[in-house]
Homo-oligomer: A and B are copies of this chain.
C-alpha cells in the first residue's frame, strides 16, 4: 500500500519536527546540577532520530479523543525518553551488545558503559518528572504516571526484555510464548502511549478501551513488521545490523510461520486495530494511516 505509506510518512514527518523541538526543550530545562557529560549522553541518544512512533501515538490519540495536541506534548516526550532509555540499556554489552543504532554508534560506544547506564536511568526518571510536573489536571497526571510505570516496569517492558534474554539461551517453545515476550517488551509501552494521549484529552472509559485494543494490535503488528524487515531489509535503510535474528537463530514470526503468513497476520492485526478506533469517526484517520504505515514501511 504505497499510498497509505506515503501519506503516513508525511503525517509522521510533520509531527516529528514538533516532537523533536519539544524533546530539545525538555532537555534544555535541566540545570547545571546535571553533569555536562550526562546531559550530552542523554541528548545524543534522544536526538539521534528514529521514527518517533510512540510520541506520535500520544499526540494522535489525544486528538482522536478531541483533545489539544499541545496539552499532550510533554507526555509524548516522556514516552520517547522511556523508549530511548530502553534502547540504551538493551544495546549494552551485557545485553544485546549492539554497536550501531539508528545509523550511529550506540550510547556506550560513543561514551562509555557507565555513562550509558546512567543516561538510561536519567531518561527513565526524567520521564516521570515531566509527566508529574506538566500534565494537567492532577488526577490525569497521576493516571499517566501509573500507566507508564505499569507498562515500563517488571510486568511490562523490563519483564519482556528479561524474558527475551532468557529465550535466547532456553529457546522459545511456542508462538504464544513469543507473543507474550513481544506484548511486554514493545506492546505495553505502545499501548500506554495511546492511553496517555486519551487520558490527557479526557477520554471516556470506552474510548480508553478502544485505544488499548488498537495499541495491543498495532504493537504486535509493529513487532512482526520488524521481524520481517530483519529478513528483508538492508543495513542502509535500517541503520542497524540486519539478519541478526537468523544468524543468532532467534525465534521470530517468520521463523515460526514463514514470511507470507507473518505478513498476513500483521495485516490482520492492522485491520483489527482500525476497526477498534471506528468510534472516533473522522478523527480516527491519522491513527488508521499510521497503523497501515507500520506494516508498509521499509525501515
Q: Footprint of B on A, CB under 8 Å?
A: 30-31, 33-35, 37-39, 42, 89, 92, 94-95, 112-115, 117-118, 120-122, 124-126, 128-129, 132-133, 138-139, 141-142, 145-146, 148-150, 152-156, 158-159, 161-163, 165-166, 184
Q: Taking A34-B155, A122-B158, A128-B128 as given, write out 11 further A-B residue pairs in contact, using a Cβ cutoff of 8 Å, ordered by the A residue number.
A: A38-B158, A92-B114, A118-B158, A118-B161, A118-B165, A122-B153, A125-B153, A128-B148, A129-B149, A132-B146, A141-B142
Question: What residues on B are CB-neighbors of A149 within 8 Å?
Answer: 125-126, 128-129, 132
Answer whether A122 and B159 are a contact pair too, CB < 8 Å, given A39-B154, A129-B153.
yes
B113–A94 CB distance below 8 A: yes
B89–A121 CB distance below 8 A: yes
Question: What residues on B are CB-neighbors of A89 within 8 Å?
Answer: 117-118, 121
> Taking CB as reference atom, which chain B residue is nearest A159?
B34
Q: How far is the CB of A259 from chain B (nearest CB, A)?
A: 29
**Could you show 24 A-B contacts with beta carbons less than 8 Å apart?**
A33-B155, A33-B159, A33-B184, A35-B162, A35-B163, A37-B162, A38-B162, A39-B154, A42-B154, A89-B117, A89-B118, A89-B121, A92-B117, A94-B112, A94-B114, A95-B117, A118-B165, A122-B154, A122-B158, A125-B152, A129-B150, A132-B146, A138-B142, A142-B145
Answer whether A162 and B118 are a contact pair too, CB < 8 Å, given A31-B155, A145-B142, A146-B132.
yes
Question: What residues on B are CB-neighbors of A184 within 8 Å?
Answer: 33
CA distance A129 to B138 in the complex (A): 16
CA distance A42 to B152 in the complex (A): 15
> Taking CB as reference atom, which chain B residue is nearest A146?
B132
Question: What residues on B are CB-neighbors of A125 within 8 Å?
Answer: 124, 149, 152-154, 158
